[in-house]
Amino acid sequence: MIYIIAKGAVAVTVCGEHLLVKTDKNPSVGCNIRQVNEEAKTLFLFMQENPDREDVIRRLTEHYGIDEKTAESAYDGFGAQLATEGFAEGRDA
């Protein structure tokens, strides 16, 4: 499965807090915003910059010095969460 970050989803850091925000054309209360840790924000940005699964996993292994299996597991788990929350769309590879 590959995960494509949804249009309008952005990652920001404000006053040290890492946040994922799904912007809306008609914003209302009950906003779509999630707090994440720094690693999750980094992975989100990798996925946004280049949706290619292999590329994201390679960048994760290089950035954090982790093995490929761990990076794949992080990608799949986090990608599924993003898809559930509406921040990404899952597609068959």
Partner 1 sequence: MTDSGLSLQLRALPRAATLKPARRSLYVNWEMMNSTQKYFLEALSDFISGRATAVPPDADPAELLRLADIHSVGGIIWAQCRELFSDPGRCDAETAGRMHSYFLGDVYVSLCRREATGEITDAFEAAGIGYMPFKGEIIKDLYPAPELREMGDIDILVSPSDMDAACEIMKGLGYTDHTETPDVTEFHRGLLVYEIHRRAIYEDIGNGTDAAGFFDAFPEHAVRHGLAAEPEAGFHYAFITAHTAKHIVNRGSGFRPFLDMILLARKVKSIPEEAEKTREMLNELKLSDFESICSALCLRWFGGSLVCEPAVLTEEFFEETTEKVFRDGVFGKSNGDTINEHGNVAKTMKRRGIYYVIDAVKFFFGRIFPPYGEMRYVESYSFIDGRPWLIPAAWVKRWVVSLFRHPGRSARLALHPMIRKNEIDKRNRFLRDWGIGK
Q: Which residues here bind partner 1, judged by CB under 8 A?
A: 8, 10, 12, 14-15, 17, 19-21, 23-37, 39-40, 43, 60, 64, 66-67, 70-71, 73-74, 77-78, 81-82, 85
Which of 55/86 has CB closer to partner 1? 86
User: Where are any strands of DSSP class E within 1-93?
Assistant: 2-5, 9-14, 17-22, 33-36, 88-91
Least spacing, CB of residue 45 vs partner 1, in Å: 13
Cα dist from 36 to 8, 12, 42, 56, 72, whole Å: 17, 10, 10, 18, 19
Q: How far is the CB of 61 from partner 1 (least distance, A)?
A: 10
Q: Would you say 86 and 5 are in contact if contact means Cβ atoms under 8 Å apart?
A: no
CB of 50 to partner 1, least distance (A): 19
